[in-house]
Each structure stands twice: as structure tokens, then as C-alpha cells.
């Protein structure tokens, strides 16, 4: 196989490495990386994870083992996918080598990160055992072999002609997959369940990581592996199955999420998961305002605070000046209703503004809320919120005799306080997802999208822009207020410092907005994923101390450069961000020898 490169007015043949030797090299390297995980990588247990054991992987060795296994399976699937092995063909339905390359990149990046971390923490390369050197060499061997495979760089899958020079990140965006082999419905259902079970295992592993080095390696491997499976076509094939079996998909997703507390032996990580759900739910509410209606709100976290304060005042806290105790459903309705009122009151005079002016006003509202909560301390204002001391000692919930502060045994598994609140927050998140899905697909949702794209054109077509923007503001505030009512009971205390623009830990307005944009505006799963990452990364990268924000910022810049449309973007936004590449692609196609070859 050969291709041509433009060199002025002539073309120069390019002869890539033969696919056979390159594939053998990739297989040998990935198999070697798997075997190296069972060897000792260092002589001392001082490095986290104890990589001194021979015969059993530990710590970061599990990541190299997983990466090598994914690379091996994808390579085998491509090698034998057309020779009558449908089981392996499912792993690489697009018959693309691009997935193999990304899997090898993930294995190499994770392995070499581990070796560098060992050398840096223990004081030099002398601390590496032969197993570590074997791991680095074999992972690099697999990467070299993958680089020698012919890559599919044409968006329609031919990989020939001048279009082979399109950026690799654009490859296979529109690549059509071959028609899938018809499977019995029960097998398709089992595949969906297996996919969500694998997702639960992967997410649980990431949340349960005990030290920063392991979490960093986990992020590296997960990012490259997901990209590899996307390039291979497996993600698209699974997405088609989920669309075909929507009820099964919904049930499997909820069951997988609800199963997380049953995988834990203590509340150490369920507390993190409960706070992630709070953060993700608020981000999904902000997605209505920013992602659907296109309103840049920089003070959205204030609505979370309004709901939390309203619930704290009526939930029976001894520090509350109201001295009442509503049942939870009434406290939740109170928090949501007060948040809606504040949303309408703030939105009515400000939503006539657009763009940067609206952003500045909403930023001011967020700061005004925090300052007001500080001043309602009985000295500079009425005694309502106790100022900077907040409202402490918020009692645990008791719903139908179920005490959320006590430990309960379900199916032989003990569920602690945070596990109880996690399951409650999961129901709230499911409610918010249902509201977002229904509203986004309604006439109102389409009107919001029209306003986001061009408000002037939308109003010219008869859409009442102000009324619909106010509705989006009120609905987003209501969803944030619902999450705030649960947050007040989870944290026991509500203080003004929890609801700032960017000074505190998530959730705050800056991180909420970043979660929506990074995850994918206008989608459901995008903000959920973005919020999960933006909550976990600061928690897990504490070992970087002073360099934590620097590393976090660099990671965000890289992600936004590689995926400007977000990690999980809808089709419209993906095409919008790649529209600039279309003229260059068309011009390149015209210089190809023939139109048939360009196609």
C-alpha cells in the first residue's frame, strides 16, 4: 500500500511499514507489557502500591496490565476480524488501526509515568528492578508497532490520497461502520448490562484510588482507552444498542449507579460519591441556562445556596431563628420554591441584557448573595443566617421511619450515613435528568436552542425571548434549590463561604461552568461526566500541593484543545466546532488525482 505526499508540483511516494511486521510487533509488545505486570518493578515498598511483589500485580501495575490487554485484544480483533471470529470482531467493528494506536499510547503513557514517578520519589533510576525496565521497553515496542500500522485518516474510511494528512483527531468523525450482524435481543440486552457493569467497575476503581499517583495513571489510561474504543467503533456500536433498548438502558444505568455503595466497605468514598452527585445535579441545572438557552450565568451557585439555606432554616436546626421542623418533602419544596422566587426576582430585571453584560450582572448577584448571608448576623442586619458562622447542627433526615444518619444492613451489606444520602441524591439526580430530557425535547427546549443560536432571528420568528429566558432561569434555579436541600443535610452546616465564585472547593460557579463546557453543553451525560472529573481531580491531586492548580489548568487547556466541543458533545455542536476544517478538506480533495480516489 502506498500513498502520495504533495511536494510543490510533484508527488513523492510514501511507503509505510508493512502491516504484518507492525502488527506482530504490537502483539509482542502488548503481551510483554502484560507479562511485566507480574514482575517486580522496584526493590522497596516505599513507593505506593508495593511494586516489589513477583507473580501478582499491584498498584499501577494493574493499569499497565489493563492497557496491554486492551491493546492486545484490539490488535487481534483487527487481525482476525475478517476471518470468521465475530466475538473479537465486536471489539473493533470499524476495522480501524486508530484504536490500536490510542490503546498503545495509553499503555505507554501509564507505564512510563509509573517509572518516572518511581525514579522521582525514590531518588533515581537505580531504584528500578528488571521488571520495570521490561515494562517500559515492551510498552514502547507496542507503541512503535502501532505507529507502523496504516492509519485511517480519511473521514470516510479510505485512508488514501492527499486526505491522509487530515488531523488525526478528525479521523473517523463521520466514519460509517459496517452493518452489524443481527444478534438475538437477549444477547444485546446482556451486552448493555455488561457495558454498564464494566463502567461501574471502572468508576469505582477511580473513586477508590488511595493515592495521587494511582489516580493520575488511572486518568491517563482511561482517557486513551475510551478514545481507542471510540476510534475502533465499539462505543458507536454500543450507543446504537442503547438507543434500540432504551428501557433496558435506563434500568441498567440506574442499577449500576445504585450498586456503587454496595461495593464499598466504609463511608470513606461514598461521601465523595454523594458530593459528586450534588455537584453533577447542579451542573445539569446550569446546563439548562447555559447549554440550552445560551445565558452565561456566573453566579449560579447562589441558587444552590438559597435552597440550602431555606432547607436549613426549616429543618429543625437549633441555630435556626425560625424554630420549625418541616418533613423532608416540605423542606425540599420550600428550598425549590424560594430558589424559583429568587430566580425570577433576579432574572426579571437582568435578562434583558445579553452576553458579557449578563455575565457581569449574574457574577454580581452571586457575590451579593454571599455578602447578604454574612450580614444577616444580628449585628449588621436581622439575625437570620448567623453570619459567617452559618446554620450548624442540621439534623439528619428521617423519611418514613428511615433514619439517614444511622447504619442499615441491606442484602448483607452495611450502608452508612453517606451511602444513604448517596442513594437519596441518586433519586434527585434521576428526577433532574428526567426534567432536562423532557424539557430539552419539547417546544420550549427547541425555542431555547433557537435563542441560543440567534436571539434576534428567534424573536423575528415569533419567539418571546424574554419570557423563555426567564423560564430557563427559574427552572435552573429550581433544580439547584432541590440539590441544595440535600446538600444542607449532607454537610450538617451551611455557611456563606461554601457559595463563592472560585475561592472554595467545588461546587462553585467557576467549576460548575467549567463542568458544563468541558463535559458538553446541551447534553445530559456531558455535565455529569464533567462534574465528576472536576470534583475528583482536585481531591485526588492533593499530592501536587502548590502545583495542583497548574497541573489542573494544563489538563483543561489540553482537553479543550483536543475536544473543544466537550467530552460528550451532541452532533450539532461537534459539526460547529469542526466547520473550519471543511474548506481545507475540500481543497485537498480537489488536488487529489481523481475524484474517485478522493472518495
| pLDDT tens-place string over residues 321-371 | 888 889 988 999 999 999 999 999 988 888 888 878 888 888 888 889 999
Task: Let me know if residue 583 belongs to a domain.
Answer: no
Q: Which residue has the cell 504490537?
A: 26
pLDDT at res. 580: 56
Q: Which residue has the cell 440506574?
A: 254
Residues 384 and 296 grouped into a single domain: yes
Q: How far is CA 40 from CA 53, 58, 391, 456, in A?
A: 5, 10, 53, 66
Task: Decide which of 484, 510, 531 is a domain's last residue.
Answer: 531
Task: Let me know if residue 89 belongs to a domain.
Answer: yes
Beta carbons within 8 Å of 243's beta carbon, 6+ residues apart: none
**Top-ranked range on mean pLDDT: pick from 48-57, 79-88, 350-359:** 48-57
pLDDT, tens digit (0-9, with 9 covering 90-100), for 471-481 = 999 999 999 99
pLDDT at res. 578: 61
Half-sphere exposure of 58 (CA within 13 A, CB side): 17
b/e per residue, 363-400, with b = 16+ CB within 10 A?
A: bebbbebbeebbbbbeeeeeebbbbeebbbebeebeee
Please report, for the chain, how many H helices and E strands are present, in that order: 23, 6
Residues 172 and 26 grouped into a single domain: yes
Task: Let me know if residue 270 belongs to a domain.
Answer: no
Residues 313 and 212 grouped into a single domain: no
Task: Decide which of 199, 226, 251 is a domain's last residue.
Answer: 251
- How far is the C-alpha of 373 from the C-alpha of 347, rounded, in Å? 20
pLDDT at res. 234: 87
C-beta separation of 292 from 443 below 8 A:
no
pLDDT at res. 179: 62
Taking alpha carbons only, the member of 146, 170, 164, 166 closest to residue 230 is 170
Task: Let me know if residue 511 belongs to a domain.
Answer: yes
pLDDT at res. 574: 66
Of the two residues 155 and 133, the one the predictor is more confident about is 133
pLDDT at res. 177: 58
Q: How many CB atoms within 10 Å of residue 321?
A: 14
Q: Which residue has the cell 483487527?
A: 78
Taking alpha carbons only, the member of 238, 246, 245, 222 closest to residue 93 is 238
What is the separation of C-alpha 387 from the centre of its chain, rounded to a whole number of angstroms? 36
Residues 79 and 134 grouped into a single domain: yes
Q: Helix, strand or coil for residue 394?
A: coil
Residues 240 and 304 grouped into a single domain: no
Q: Helix, strand or coil for residue 599?
A: coil
Q: Name the residue range of residue 246's domain.
A: 16-251
* pLDDT band at 194; cut points 50, 70, 90: very high
588 pLDDT exceeds 50?
A: no
b/e per residue, 502-517, with b = 16+ CB within 10 A?
A: eeeebbbbbbbbbbbb
Residues 307 and 448 grouped into a single domain: yes
Q: Return the H-helix or E-strand segment holding 11.
A: strand 10-14
Residues 186 and 305 grouped into a single domain: no
Half-sphere exposure of 62 (CA within 13 A, CB side): 13
Residues 216 and 76 grouped into a single domain: yes
pLDDT, tens digit (0-9, with 9 covering 90-100), for 432-443 = 999 888 988 889
pLDDT at res. 12: 37
- How far is the C-alpha of 14 from the C-alpha of 77, rounded, in Å? 27
* pLDDT band at 80; cut points 50, 70, 90: low
Taking alpha carbons only, the member of 230, 165, 96 closest to residue 581 is 165
Task: Let me know if residue 594 belongs to a domain.
Answer: no
Half-sphere exposure of 152 (CA within 13 A, CB side): 23
Taking alpha carbons only, the member of 164, 149, 158 closest to residue 13 is 164
Task: Let me know if residue 265 belongs to a domain.
Answer: no
Q: Mean pLDDT, to the nearest integer, of 451-470?
A: 88
559 pLDDT exceeds 70?
A: yes
127 pLDDT exceeds 50?
A: yes
Q: Helix, strand or coil for residue 209?
A: coil
Taking alpha carbons only, the member of 425, 421, 422 closest to residue 482 is 425
- Structural domains in the chain (count): 2
- How far is the C-alpha of 151 from the C-alpha of 159, rounded, in Å? 7
* pLDDT band at 180; cut points 50, 70, 90: low
What are the residues facing 6 on neighbouring strands? 11
pLDDT at res. 386: 86
155 pLDDT exceeds 60?
A: no
Q: Mean pLDDT, to the nearest integer, of 175-192?
A: 76
Residues 148 and 38 grouped into a single domain: yes
Task: Let me know if residue 40 belongs to a domain.
Answer: yes
Q: Mean pLDDT, to the nearest integer, of 454-463?
A: 88
Q: Which of 48-62, 182-196, 336-350, 538-552 has the lowest mean pLDDT?
A: 538-552
Residues 209 and 302 grouped into a single domain: no
168 pLDDT exceeds 60?
A: no
163 pLDDT exceeds 50?
A: no
pLDDT at res. 84: 40
Angle at which helices 130-148 and 98-122 cross, to 10° = 150
Q: Which residue has the cell 460548575?
A: 512
Residues 302 and 239 grouped into a single domain: no
Handedness of CA 394, 399, 400, 402 (dihedral sign): negative
Task: Let me know if residue 540 belongs to a domain.
Answer: no
pLDDT at res. 154: 44
What percentage of residues in the chain have a pLDDT greater than 70? 83
What percentage of residues in the chain have a pLDDT greater than 90? 34
Q: Helix, strand or coil for residue 457?
A: helix
Average pLDDT, the chain: 82
pLDDT at res. 339: 93
Strand positions, DSSP E, 342-445: 398-399, 402-403, 408-410, 413-415
pLDDT, tens digit (0-9, with 9 covering 90-100), for 382-421 = 888 888 888 998 998 888 888 898 888 888 888 889 999 9
Q: Helix, strand or coil for residue 5?
A: strand
Biggest alpha carbon distance in the chain? 85
Q: How far is CA 322 from CA 15, 163, 326, 431, 467, in A?
A: 80, 70, 11, 29, 35
- Which conformational region is residue 167 in: left (phi greater than 0), alpha (psi within -120 to 50 degrees), or beta? beta
Q: Helix, strand or coil for residue 83?
A: coil
Residues 57 and 190 grouped into a single domain: yes
Q: What angle do CA 510, 442, 282 make, to 5 degrees?
A: 25
590 pLDDT exceeds 60?
A: no
pLDDT at res. 39: 94
14 pLDDT exceeds 70?
A: no
225 pLDDT exceeds 90?
A: yes
Q: Helix, strand or coil for residue 519?
A: helix
Which three cell numbers, joined as nine digits, stand for 191?
451486552
- Which conformational region is residue 159 in: left (phi greater than 0), alpha (psi within -120 to 50 degrees), or beta? left
Q: Helix, strand or coil for residue 376?
A: coil
pLDDT at res. 35: 95
Q: Return the H-helix or E-strand segment holding 4.
A: strand 3-7
pLDDT at res. 217: 92
Task: Decide which of 531, 551, 584 is a domain's last residue.
Answer: 531
Q: What angle do CA 315, 476, 435 make, to 5 degrees?
A: 90
- How far is the C-alpha of 541 from the C-alpha of 557, rounded, in Å? 17
Amino acid at each position: 500500500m502506498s500513498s502520495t505526499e504533495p511536494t510543490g508540483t510533484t508527488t513523492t511516494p510514501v511507503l509505510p511499514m508493512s502491516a504484518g511486521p507492525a502488527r506482530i510487533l504490537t502483539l509482542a509488545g502488548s503481551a510483554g507489557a502484560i507479562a511485566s505486570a507480574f514482575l517486580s518493578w522496584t526493590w522497596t515498598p516505599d513507593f505506593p502500591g508495593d511494586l516489589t511483589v513477583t507473580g501478582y500485580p499491584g498498584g499501577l501495575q494493574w493499569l499497565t496490565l489493563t492497557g496491554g490487554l486492551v491493546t492486545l485484544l484490539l490488535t487481534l480483533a483487527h487481525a482476525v476480524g475478517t476471518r470468521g471470529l465475530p466475538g473479537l470482531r465486536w471489539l473493533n467493528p470499524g476495522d480501524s488501526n486508530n484504536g490500536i494506536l490510542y490503546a498503545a499510547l495509553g499503555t505507554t503513557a501509564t507505564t512510563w509515568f509509573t517509572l518516572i514517578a518511581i525514579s522521582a520519589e525514590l531518588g533515581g533510576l537505580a531504584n528500578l528492578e528488571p521488571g520495570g525496565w521490561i515494562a517500559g521497553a515492551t510498552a514502547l515496542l507496542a507503541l512503535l508497532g502501532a505507529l507502523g500500522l496504516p492509519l485511517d485518516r480519511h473521514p470516510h474510511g479510505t485512508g488514501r490520497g492527499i486526505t491522509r494528512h487530515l488531523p488525526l483527531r478528525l479521523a473517523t468523525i463521520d466514519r460509517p461502520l459496517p452493518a452489524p450482524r443481527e444478534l438475538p435481543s437477549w444477547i444485546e440486552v446482556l451486552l448493555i448490562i455488561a457495558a454498564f457493569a464494566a463502567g461501574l467497575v471502572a468508576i469505582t476503581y477511580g473513586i477508590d484510588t488511595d493515592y495521587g499517583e494511582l489516580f493520575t495513571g488511572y486518568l491517563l489510561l482511561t482517557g486513551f482507552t475510551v478514545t481507542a474504543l471510540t476510534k475502533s467503533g465499539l462505543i458507536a456500536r454500543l450507543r446504537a444498542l442503547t438507543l434500540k433498548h432504551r428501557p433496558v438502558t435506563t434500568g441498567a444505568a440506574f442499577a449500576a449507579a445504585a450498586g456503587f455503595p454496595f461495593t464499598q466497605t466504609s463511608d470513606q468514598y461514598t461521601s465523595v460519591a454523594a458530593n459528586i452527585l450534588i455537584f453533577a445535579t447542579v451542573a445539569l441545572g446550569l446546563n439548562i441556562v447555559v447549554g440550552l438557552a445560551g445565558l452565561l450565568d456566573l453566579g449560579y451557585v447562589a441558587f444552590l445556596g438559597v435552597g440550602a439555606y431555606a432547607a436549613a432554616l426549616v429543618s429543625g436546626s437549633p441555630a435556626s431563628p425560625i424554630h420549625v421542623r418541616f418533613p423532608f418533602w416540605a423542606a425540599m419544596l420550600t428550598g425549590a420554591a424560594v430558589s424559583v422566587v429568587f430566580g425570577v426576582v433576579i432574572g426579571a430585571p437582568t435578562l434583558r441584557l445579553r452576553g458579557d453584560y449578563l455575565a457581569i450582572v449574574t457574577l454580581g448577584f452571586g457575590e451579593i448573595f454571599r455578602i447578604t448571608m454574612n450580614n444577616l448576623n444580628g449585628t449588621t442586619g436581622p439575625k437570620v443566617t448567623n453570619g459567617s458562622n452559618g446554620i450548624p447542627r442540621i439534623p439528619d433526615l428521617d423519611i418514613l421511619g428511615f433514619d439517614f444518619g444511622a447504619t442499615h444492613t441491606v442484602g448483607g451489606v452495611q450502608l452508612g450515613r453517606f451511602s444513604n444520602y448517596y442513594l437519596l441524591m441518586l433519586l434527585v439526580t434521576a428526577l433532574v435528568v428526567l426534567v432536562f430530557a423532557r424539557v430539552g425535547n419539547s417546544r420550549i427546549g427547541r425555542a431555547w436552542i433557537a435563542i441560543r443560536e440567534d436571539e434576534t432571528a428567534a424573536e423575528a420568528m415569533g419567539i418571546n425571548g424574554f419570557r423563555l429566558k426567564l423560564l430557563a432561569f427559574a427552572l435552573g434555579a429550581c433544580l439547584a434549590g432541590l440539590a441544595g436541600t440535600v446538600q444542607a443535610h449532607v454537610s450538617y452546616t451551611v455557611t456563606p463561604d461554601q457559595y463563592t465564585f472560585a475561592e472554595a472547593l467545588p461546587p462553585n460557579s467557576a467549576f460548575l461552568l467549567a463542568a458544563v463546557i468541558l463535559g458538553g453543553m446541551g447534553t445530559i451525560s456531558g455535565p455529569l461526566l464533567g462534574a465528576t472529573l472536576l470534583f475528583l481531580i482536585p481531591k485526588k491531586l492533593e499530592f501536587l500541593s502548590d502545583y495542583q492548580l497548574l497541573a489542573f489548568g494544563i489538563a483543561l487547556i489540553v482537553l479543550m484543545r483536543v475536544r473543544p466541543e466537550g467530552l460528550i458533545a451532541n452532533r450539532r455542536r461537534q459539526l460547529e466546532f469542526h466547520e473550519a476544517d471543511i474548506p481545507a478538506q475540500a481543497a485537498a480533495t480537489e488536488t487529489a488525482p481523481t475524484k474517485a480516489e478522493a472518495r
